Structure 1
Amino acid sequence: MHTTRFLRVPGVGIAVAGLLISGCTNGGSPEEPHSEASATSTSAGAPAPPLKPLPAKVPDGLRPYYGQKLDWRGCGPAGFECATLRVPLDYEHPRSGSEHEVRLAVTRTKPGGSGAKPGGSGRKRAGSLHVNPGGPGGSAVEYVQQSAGVAYPAEVRERFSLVGMDPRGVGRSEPVECLSDKQMDAYTRVDQTPDDEGETVELSAAYGKFGQGCQKRSGKLLGHASTMEAARDMDVLRAVLGDKKLNYVGASYGTYLGATYAGLFPQRAGRLVLDGAMDPSLSSLRVNREQTAGFEAAFKAFARDCVSHSDCPLGDGTVREAGAQLSAFFERVDRKPLDTGSPRRSLTESQATTGVIRAMYDEGSWPVLREALTAAKKGNGEQLLALSDDYYERGPDGSYSNTMYANPAVNCLDLPPAFTGPDEVKKALPSFEKASPVFGRGFAWAAMNCADWPQDPTGSPHRIAAEGADPVVVVGTTRDPATPYRWARGLAGQLSTGRLVTYEGDGHTAYLRGSRCVDEAINGYLLRGQAPQNGTTCR
């Protein structure tokens, strides 16, 4: 289980997110007072410095990239076209030549020209609407072609050309690679709740081997896969598409990417919607610990629902008893992995935990989890393994997407590691276990994955004000497991033009997930520029 990851938004496989947290020890609720520390400080109360905007004038060394012409061609489902965007590997030292550049995959719905589509509303096109589903590691190309191009409201699709660009190192944009499929299978089985020194050494070695594999297979790109660089790539694409401002919808990690864009280019930030928001002012330690609390809150919501059913595999008592039963189940699987019907694959404790975590992203998965846990308690781990495979994006043929490789490649550059070694994890275990008696121990050890990363971090916690930007709509779900609600409050509080929309509910992200109130608020902004009132609450 990777903790520095947010799963994808429902629509392409599972929901992609990433992994950041906000400065408290629970998921938060709209009634709780907002803590200024969550919006302005890193760890131990140290102030997070502001992100400084880049100069509005494009540097001479970047003009060839901003002035390039894209060669669009039909691709994917009908109505889509694709192109390749060139960007510098290193924005601080741009150099010509393929070895000094990155080629990024871009897709869009075919523009309808300056007029409306036949039979449409008669509104003129408003340019491009960029979409990112999260991660880090989620493919925006895949998401736009398979989900957003159909799921987004017809009025939005008519008004904008939907655009998806795989960030550098992701999907079809020179993807980061780390392990063979066989090695990845072994990696997903490594015990992430070590019981002794031998298991601790084994876990540390697994993280080290993972990072070394990324360095060997990905080369120079591994040092240039940060969110800052991806945000600069988006500005190049904006200019190449001929848009004066960037209109954007980002989910989960996509909110971090979108907020970073607004901070670097506030004068070019248009209608930005950040759904399932992350707080950039937080340290990696706080992010991991507070996301741990977010998953505990989500599990409690699941447990309350589960014990109300006669077939709940965690009993029919209290939420606390359900948590104790789940913890006991994990311990049994740790001692003896479960049969899955496959002679080559049993279910380990790490995979069982990952399967449960997967189901926390979407309340629609709760019945599936009940069935999977019922079968597992009878000795059959097949369904839990399927959930774990879904999280890791393992295909039926045993192949993995690059999501789990791109994820640490971005996260380990964006922030200094939460822990530098096992001793620090052991000291932090009580605080993680307090945040989540069920998941805390595993999340703490999973947060050690950047300790021996082969590239030094290039980023650090910071506040984003984006002075001068158009209104930025920030959406937070009160029981979101991956991006706790306080993150949305923290980000909205930093942004000079932030407008917070609260959805009181379960699951990861809120837009296009069944809330008419949320959808109307966001669609109203995208279509008419009417930003919702700050503090809007949807139930």
Structure 2
Amino acid sequence: MLGVAALATAAALAVSGCAPIAALVQQATAREPELPPRPDGTVEGFGAQQPDWAPCGDGLECAVVHAPLDWEQTSGETITLSLVKQEARGGEPIGTLFVNPGGPGASGIDYLSGGVGGAVQPDVQEAYDVVAWDPRGVGASTPVTCLDDAAMDDYLFGVDPAEQGLEKGSDAWMDAALAHERDFGEACLEQTGDLLAHVSTAETVRDLDMLRAIVGDPQLNYLGYSYGTYIGARYADAYPDRVGRLVLDGAMDPSASLADVVREQTRGFETALRAYTTDCLTRDDCPLDGPVDVAMAQISALLDRVEAEPLTGSDGRAFTVSTMLTAIITPLYSQGNWGYLDELFSTVAAGDADTGLMLADFYYDRQNGAYLSNSTEAFTAINCLDYPAGSSDRDQMRADAAELDEIAPTIGRFQGYGDLACAAWPEQPTSERGPVAGAGAAPILVVGTTGDPATPYRWAESLADQLESGVLVTYQGEGHTAYGENDCVDDTIDAYLLTGATPAADPQCS
């Protein structure tokens, strides 16, 4: 199943240069931050914490603070949240700008540590203290933990013996898939404990308001990408009077169900794949033959071939059709990465799985056999709390799968039965999906890219309509998220963050 949202991967694919906080604090100029005294158990007490901002390399400072495990029982058990900050380059800041890169499950610490310029433009860095954090359950904050590296490889790349030879969509196939997901969920519960029930976006929104209070800002200034737009939209709905300047780039639709999200993302990635194919066929070195429909059929045939006979990588891992699909969608997040698809299709056609495994490793944050983050575990844990349980009716699941096949003839047939992952999850969902309003909030910029495969443009239109003060900024282009990709978009967002000015009409950047 395609991911429910994703992080903003606008940068070129490469071995990740993002360093976790544990690595940052080992640098010569760094020291490990101290945890403040435990708060008195009140909401006000948590917001009054004084972080120990410790140098952690590359002009950054790191800190760690307490948060309640359960915001309904603030006097009970606590967890920790880790933060990273770049102080305003111009001296006296106009405030703090919180940044979230998406996910769910993406590390804000890694994101900002990999280069603040990749998140925020120079003029904004001059004016704001820029802060990112690892949300509850993620990375250097108290994390969701499930499997060791070897077991994660088996979970993500292994071929489940129980599913071999079973017809996809049959009761026996679904039973085997449920058992596979149930084993994963039970491992997460065993390793994570009570936290597993408390990593919802609603609880992260309360954490974010606590962080706003900790830095001393009366209103929240925030830049959220992809899933980070959902955090920002829910914040605006919960605390409209505390909204400062919010930018929501690559917007999600808060009212979309899990089935809606899977359907629209499947449609979006099929469209992006077709756009890649159209571009590829204009080049002499394209590994596909035209016209476009013929080339798409060639990709479909490669997927069928791998499904029937998975390849084996040079490291011994199986390259299954689900891994190939991950390898396909990863470069589709940014047009600048489309060249990787040339290599993928050429090598898979030759029976070589290594390029495909490299792309999947990038997606899963895996390097040299080790997982550098817990993004996969956190992704599932957060989504299974955020989305109400889907249909358990197997005939309905089959009907939904058939619809995906119809709307996305190349990849849709591999996207069904997404309800099974959370159906086997050990914790019950705690959230409802529904529209937001942010009644009375200051103007909020909602940015949508017309060719965005992960967060389709119609979601940005919907979110801007839902928010009473939503202001839509359209980027006519390809790829996931727009800030940092287009001068018109950059100028519009920078002016808003620096002065509060919003465009009189959608600038329709291109």
Q: 1:371 and 1:445, CA in 2 relative to 1: closer, same or farther beyond 3 A? A: same
Give the secondary-structure state (helix, strand or coil) at the position aligned to 2:232: helix
Deviation by residue 1:50-74 (Cα, 9 ceiling, x = unmatched): xxxxxxxxx9931211122111111
Distance 2:420 2:115 in 1: 34
Distance 2:391 2:146 in 1: 21
Give the secondary-structure state (helix, strand or coil) at the position aligned to 1:505: strand
For 1:289, the equivalent position in structure 2 comes to 263
Aligned residues: 481
Deviation by residue 1:241-289 (Cα, 9 ceiling, x = unmatched): 0111110100000000011111111111110000000000111111111
For 2:498, the equivalent position in structure 1 comes to 527
For 1:37, the equivalent position in structure 2 comes to none
| 2:95 aligned partner, one-letter code | G
Distance 2:258 2:145 in 1: 23
Q: Following superposition of structure 1 onto structure 2, how do residues 86-165 of structure 1 map, counting pairs within 5 Å?
A: 86-96=66-76, 100-110=77-87, 116-117=90-91, 124-149=92-117, 152-165=120-133
Q: Following superposition of structure 1 onto structure 2, how do residues 133-282 of structure 1 map, counting pairs within 5 Å?
A: 133-149=101-117, 152-189=120-157, 190=159, 195-196=167-168, 197=170, 198-282=172-256
Single out whichever of 233-242 and 331-340 deviates more from structure 2: 331-340
Q: Determine which of 483, 487, 497 is the counterpart of 1:516.
A: 487
- Aligned partners of 2:252 and 2:460 also within 8 Å: yes
| 2:366 aligned partner, one-letter code | R
| 2:249 aligned partner, one-letter code | D
Residue 382, structure 1, aligned to residue 354, structure 2: yes
Distance 2:456 2:309 in 1: 33
Alpha-carbon offset, residue 199 of structure 1: 4.2
Distance 1:423 1:223 in 2: 30
- Aligned partners of 1:7 and 1:135 also within 8 Å: yes
Larger relative contact order (CA 8 Å, sep ≥ 6): 1
Give the secondary-structure state (helix, strand or coil) at the position aligned to 2:344: helix
Residue 469, structure 1, aligned to residue 469, structure 2: no
Specify every segment of 5 or more residues in structure 1 that has no aligned partner in the other structure, as ranges.
17-58, 118-123
Alpha-carbon offset, residue 511 of structure 1: 0.5
Give the secondary-structure state (helix, strand or coil) at the position aligned to 2:115: helix
Distance 1:228 1:475 in 2: 22
| 1:371 aligned partner, one-letter code | E
Residue 425, structure 1, aligned to residue 406, structure 2: no
Q: 1:195 and 1:7, CA in 2 relative to 1: closer, same or farther beyond 3 A? A: farther
For 1:492, the equivalent position in structure 2 comes to 464
Single out whichever of 155-164 and 411-420 deviates more from structure 2: 411-420
Distance 1:164 1:348 in 2: 36
| 2:82 aligned partner, one-letter code | A
TM-score normalised by the chain length of structure 1: 0.85
For 1:327, the equivalent position in structure 2 comes to 300
Distance 2:333 2:286 in 1: 19
- Aligned partners of 2:70 and 2:198 also within 8 Å: yes
- Aligned partners of 1:181 and 1:400 also within 8 Å: no
For 2:22, the equivalent position in structure 1 comes to none
Q: Following superposition of structure 1 onto structure 2, how do residues 4-83 of structure 1 map, counting pairs within 5 Å?
A: 4-11=4-11, 61-75=42-56, 77-83=57-63
Alignment RMSD: 2.2
Distance 1:140 1:102 in 2: 17
Q: 1:339 and 1:9, CA in 2 relative to 1: closer, same or farther beyond 3 A? A: closer
| 1:264 aligned partner, one-letter code | A
Q: Determine which of 428, 447, 450 is the counterpart of 1:478.
A: 450
Q: 1:150 and 1:432, CA in 2 relative to 1: closer, same or farther beyond 3 A? A: closer
| 1:493 aligned partner, one-letter code | D
- Aligned partners of 1:478 and 1:504 also within 8 Å: yes
Single out whichever of 501-510 and 64-73 deviates more from structure 2: 64-73
| 2:115 aligned partner, one-letter code | S
Q: 1:435 and 1:473, CA in 2 relative to 1: closer, same or farther beyond 3 A? A: same
TM-score normalised by the chain length of structure 2: 0.90
Deviation by residue 1:198-229 (Cα, 9 ceiling, x = unmatched): 54433222211111111111111110001011
Distance 1:8 1:460 in 2: 25
Distance 2:110 2:202 in 1: 22
- Aligned partners of 2:333 and 2:479 also within 8 Å: yes
For 1:358, the equivalent position in structure 2 comes to 330
| 1:324 aligned partner, one-letter code | A
- Aligned partners of 1:290 and 1:435 also within 8 Å: no
For 1:506, the equivalent position in structure 2 comes to 478
- Aligned partners of 1:4 and 1:447 also within 8 Å: no
